Structure 1
Amino acid sequence: MTNALFLRKLLFWPQPWAAQVFMLLWVSLLILAPVGGQFATEIKSVISLHPPWTTLFKGETVTLTCKAFQINAPQKIKWYRWYLPGEIQYKTTGNTYEVHESGGYKCQAQDSHSSDRVDLIFSAANLILQAPSDVFEEDSVVLRCQAKANIVLNNMTLYKNGKILKILNKTSDFRIHQASMKDSGEYYCSGVKDTHSVSSNKIQIVVQEIVPDVRIHSHPEFVFEGLELVLICSVSGVPRPTISWYKKQHRLRKDRELQTSSETEFKVPVVQNSDAGEYYCIARNSRFSIKSNSVIISVKVPVSQPVLTLRPLETWTLVREMSLQCEVQRGSLPIRYQFFHEDVLFKEIKSSSGRKVLHRLSPTEKPFGSYYCTADNGLGPQRSAAVIPVSKPVLTFSSPGTRTFVGDKMSLQCEVQRGSLPIWFQFFREGVLLKKREAVSWITASYSFFLIAEHSGNYYCTADNGFGPQRSETMSLSVTVPVSQPVLTLSPPGTRTLVGNEVRLQCEVQRGSSPIQYQFFHEDVLLTKIEATSWRTKSYSFSVTAEHSGNYYCTADNGFGPQSSETINLSVIVPVSRPVLTLRTPRAQAVVGDVVQLHCEAQRGSPPILYQFYHEDVTLGSSSSPSGEGASFNLFLKTEHSGNYFCEANNGQGVQRSYPVSLSVKVPVSHPVLTLRTPRVQAVVGDILEIHCETQRGSPPIQYQFYRENVALGSCSSLSGGGTSFNLSLTTEHSGNYSCEADNGLGVQRSEAVSLSVKVPVSRPVLTLRTARAQVVVGDVLELRCEAQRGSPPILYWFYHNNVTLETSTSHSGQGVSLNLSLTAGHSGTYSCEVDNGLGPQHSEAVTLFVMGLTGSKSSLIATSVTGGLLSVMAVAAVALLFYCWLLRKAGGKPTFDSSRNPSAPDPQESTYYNVPGWIELQPVYSNVNPNRGEVVYSEVWSVKKENKLTAASEPEPFKKTVSPMPCAPSHLRPTDLCPSPVCSFSQDSCVIYSQVKGASTAASKPQFLDPLTPHR
């Protein structure tokens, strides 16, 4: 049983006021109970009623009370929103609202979801049955048969499922003391007023089963270390339960037996981190053993003081980045870390999985000053100790000059102006680490060595205390030595090069004091001479031609005699040119299944040449040409072979790619698929039918042709492939078989035929009442004929008398159906019918019938006398109108209304009734001509001449008899409601009188089964 359903049961369960308050508080906890370890987030508002009935009389008032079961709800709730019938919203500050109109009502308290809808009925009936909206097992239920004020009913009887349950003589209430499932059913009551039976509305009562429920909850679901933890186990539907507490599978405590379904607590006075985990409770008695949901308890632990460290701590090389690491030893997750520089926050990181974080800084993000970090998990921030990075170091030499000699002693000193100790100093020559020193008490370090020839070069030092190394300016040191044997290198490296490439000859000595004179030779011919004053290397570049093949060497001399390098041989080769790709097909247009030859050839290039063939960057194959000629590749065409092709040529000196060549492979169209798409499952006249034809494969453009019963409807072309559509506005003639064809010039393909059946909605039906005489009396047979002029069969017909269903019938041929009644006095009233063929019901106009009794009483004689007097007065007006109509007809004037709008005269032998008064002298035919169902109804009257028995087959004579005045509405209307000025218009054989009648009743729609909104009489 859901929380909302259980809540409604408690609200409407008859019990003392104090017990209701307790139950409401308990239900509020039940609503907040967690599901699967989490609190339910949906807190739904609830509407209660006073009085507690959902069916009342018109004019009465019901007070709605909106309640939201929240913790500290009175402090939170400041407004209530009401949803009235028609979705009208109304906002109040109080939680009550008075209503007196039928409809569905909802409310919403602040910070809650809207309530379930409550349907209220304010009935105009003389008798209603009142019952609570929800009934649960073991409820005490009161059913009340209530008559309208000033109406006395006798023989009050309560029915269940159509059978008499109890005769209510002295009281209108029926009480079910302990409801059970057998009390479910349909209830209504009836009484007798004078000689007429009056029935109430019908109410379907479903007794709902109470489901045992056990729930555990804690608010909140996390506690701080050292505080108290309280868990609550709530039990419902389990008599005299015994509660046991568990943490995971470990049993914590067994409580004493509870006398009633209620709740019990489990407390941990001082919470430790070890108390975190999963908790649940079990309720047991002789019948049940029910386990509650689980609650996951988290224990919050404050963070310890963080430690800021600089990483990497032991990487003594030049790095471009450094990392700050902030770490705590303990503390509940998640933890928010913040990094500060000179008390300015520059980075914030939240960690949900670990107790340390790293932040990487680039060189531009390393200003001077102090750094520290903080850590906070919501229980207060903790701050680390400050760390100061080192400043830029300064490198100095012990010798005052920059030119020294081999054997001298040299001291290098590296110093910083500020920085936290310890500091690591490193000394470098030409980027190579010479020495590493650690300073724990001073901000300077030194390094000494005796000079050798290799000590000439550039020196610098670095200092690092964990924030990353800081580098000094570079200082140059020159040691005077003779040049060593030079080394000649080619750039790019290798002994083979291409014509047109640029080759650089580089001559370098490993040692030797500057200046040095360099010379470059080709086959002992001097190419150039260059002097180097600061570097031990020089280069000479030239653009390669075929004549540059041969031997090269260089010399170096700094005054101690020239030194010559080894000889290098250079071979110049010709690279391949851009190849040309040719596609050779057996026909002008490539089609699936053809064989195409791909031929690739480069005009120049040193052999051997390797040719590679590609289709859209996918390798097809390769072929080698030892003599330098082209190569070919054959391809059996498939659908996917359309696209761009190219080839590559390579002779080891670079790859050359041809220009792409496009190939379009045509694919014949496949068997098309025809799809009919309508806006609903059943096609109906007036719908737009989309006919979609599509083929799964086939090269565009594709021409589509649409057919119905092999007759062409139209065609459409798809330029980019895919399908196309054709739209039709459906009529009844569009039923049949549809198909389509697809053609792209490689053969026509036709789809399978698809059948379509177009349905026609039923039109508004016409109800006709036929009797053997003009004025019906008790005992006559009445034929009710209901027929819709159009609509696809089968059609279901309903007949109604005073909005109560008489009979239903199905017409499989589409024609109308009839119902015969043997008339009694109770058959007077309003008749209507309804038709439906699944495309929407249509209701006829209402027709009123008055059945005369066989014998009259004194009162009927008096009524007849009064009626005769009224008829005499009205007859005078009718004679005048008919005379005026006769003059118009004789003079050739056109009637006021065109005869095409009036129904044709009925058969004189059989009178047809549409809206017949209770008293009449002639044999008229009545029909209701108020198509718009307004407040005014015009009754249309045709007067038909009575046939003489001897001239039954003769044609009817023109109307000559004076028509007595007659009312335009049923007899229950006042004379002041009648139209005082009727208008007359003649057709060929009848005169039509229109009379205005106010307050005409309309036919009711098809009644819903057990709808409490429908009054029952």
Structure 2
Amino acid sequence: MRDKPSFCEMNVPSPQPGQAPMFLWLLLLILAPGREQLGTPPKAALLLDPPWSTTFKGSKVILICKDFHSPASRDVFWYHDGNVWKTESNKIQTEHSGYYQCKTRGSSLSDPVHLEFSDDWLILQVSHPVFEGDDVVLRCQGKKEEKTSKKAYYKNYKRLPDNNDPDCITLNSVSRDNGKYYCTAIRQTFIISWTETSTPLNIQVQELFPQPVLTASPTQPTEGGLMTLTCETQVHPQKSDVQLHFQFYRDDQGLQPGWSSSPDFQIPTMRKEDSGSYWCKAKAVNNNIIKKSAGFQIHVQRIPVSEVNLEIRPHGGNLTEGEDMVLICSVANGTGAVTFSWHRDGTVSLGRKTQHSLLAELQVPAVKEHHAGRYYCAADNNHVPILSKWITVTVRIPVSRPVLTFRASEARTVVGDVVELHCEAPRGSPPILYRFYHKDVTLGNSSAPTGGGAAFNFSLTAAHSGNYSCEADNGLGAQRSHRVSLTVIVPVSRPVLTLVVPGAWAMVGDVVELHCEAPRGSPPILYWFYHENITLGNSSAPTGGGATFNLSLTAAHSGNYSCEADNGLGAQRSEVVTFNFTGASKSRIGLVTAGASGGLIVGLASATALLLHLRTRRKSGGPSAPGTSRTSNIHPQELSYSEPPDMMEFQPVYNVDHRESDLVYSQIWITQNANKNPADSPRMPHQVTEPTVIYSELKAHTDDCAEKSSRKGSAHEDATDNYENVLSASAALRH
């Protein structure tokens, strides 16, 4: 009783009929027998059980002879080393080495199988049989498996990659020239261990199917007749599940597109030009094994009616869609009734006439685009039809209305981008000339010699916005496309920042309008406003132009202002505008600088003397008192970077504190002698001959918060009771 099969044995197909086991040659590479001649009985198949063709001496192997065409046959002839061995049933058992063959009464002799009963300690076993494209199982076996370890497999003396099962290895999709194989293993004893090497073997792979043979029927076809080509080959009976596909060729030209499952191919109408060398190819679908036949020379025979000629009017076969076409078929020789027929592209029959004439006409009215193609006519007088030469008919199609499209590298078209205008007429025979227009002014033209569309490239400027169109013309009438609008986006230019104050003077609490506007740029534009590079806010101009931002002034708002314009194509920053103003509230008169650098406290006696002196100067014709003059030398109603306030110089503020009289004097500004032509300073009403310090007299209060709040409620308090403008001490002394 056999032991339980190993994993390797489980992966080797059993010798069952209808399956596809594999074939091998062992030890000696002998010449494979020639393929059986087509039409002879098929070969028998010799199978092994177990399927290993090499085994240890003392083992027994069952030989099985299979006739797939006559499975009921019982008389089997067995051969050993080329000699008739015995006549038995389809199964025999042997334990002798040698070459074995078999045959039945309904089959021819099988291919030889070499059995080797080896007395080596280590053998390499190969499953049987092997066909082209099969996977082969190799098994390395020691005489005593329990003392065998570390098995390795080699091909042409190079080690094969290890796998998860060292007892066997699978070779995928073997070819007929597969090389020499052997294995090694470590043999262990109680004391020592050494490496054993199996006897090398060659694997001869059997043909999956023989080289195909091409046949033709009839072998000498006549012009106009039918010819059938057959690509004859046969898959080995043991591989009956393999499907073959076929292709047919004349010289180097394929006769059909792609592969066909049929081994037959018909040419319905042979022509003289069809003479040549024909051959075929067969391919196994599953493993992509391809074999081709030898060439078969075919000569197409001419028939009694000779020199068939086709003429087309208009002459040359060049027509315009809508024209009438006349096909004239004629023969040089022939008697009796001649049958004429006209055909397009070899398959479409256009008409047929039989008459006692050597010439016949066929009219095709109002040709369309589908009438273009290759035409021929045939003529016969009860013999095989003779065909004319091919004539190519072209039907020129007037161009249809073209379609104009824009092609740009970005989704938006920006000044400086290169835009491609593409114009294409859906229908129309080439060559086609395309013209491109912008606002009905010609931009240029481009030709499409083989049909299709054409393009025109140009670099965008702001003037390129507007409507575009194109025109297609192939000499059969021009067609103009629909108009397509293109909007060119212009990046913003450097904006201009303008500050506008509501009155003559800017004071704390006033609302100043910052207006920013870029002279150029496509909308929408987003404007940002900055004070000392700190963002104040933003405003949008959806339809272009400028934008404003209102700012309620505090003492901290003196300094540098700028703005920025951005429409998504790069931001632009304006020049800096410097703006300084007083820190006084709206209830005070005058323009005060933004901050004081310090305070100067003057004693009561000094302050009194200074006040008396200044009041005396005012009464004697000096600088006007606050109550008598509110006119300022500076009128910053509108300030921008283009008109800086160069007629005034702001100085630090000094406060004069008079505690007893509750008066505080605050320096507001110093006017300098500009020494300039009045034309250079249009806002200066007169020249100042010397520096003059203007002070504001303010009442100082020490009341609590409630009293201050009460005084704030006096909306009609007279300004002259609160403060007055006086000159500085230095100026008074000089006067």
**TM-score with structure 2 setting the length:** 0.44
Q: Say which structure is richer in strand.
A: 1
Instruction: Name the larger-Rg structure.
Output: 2
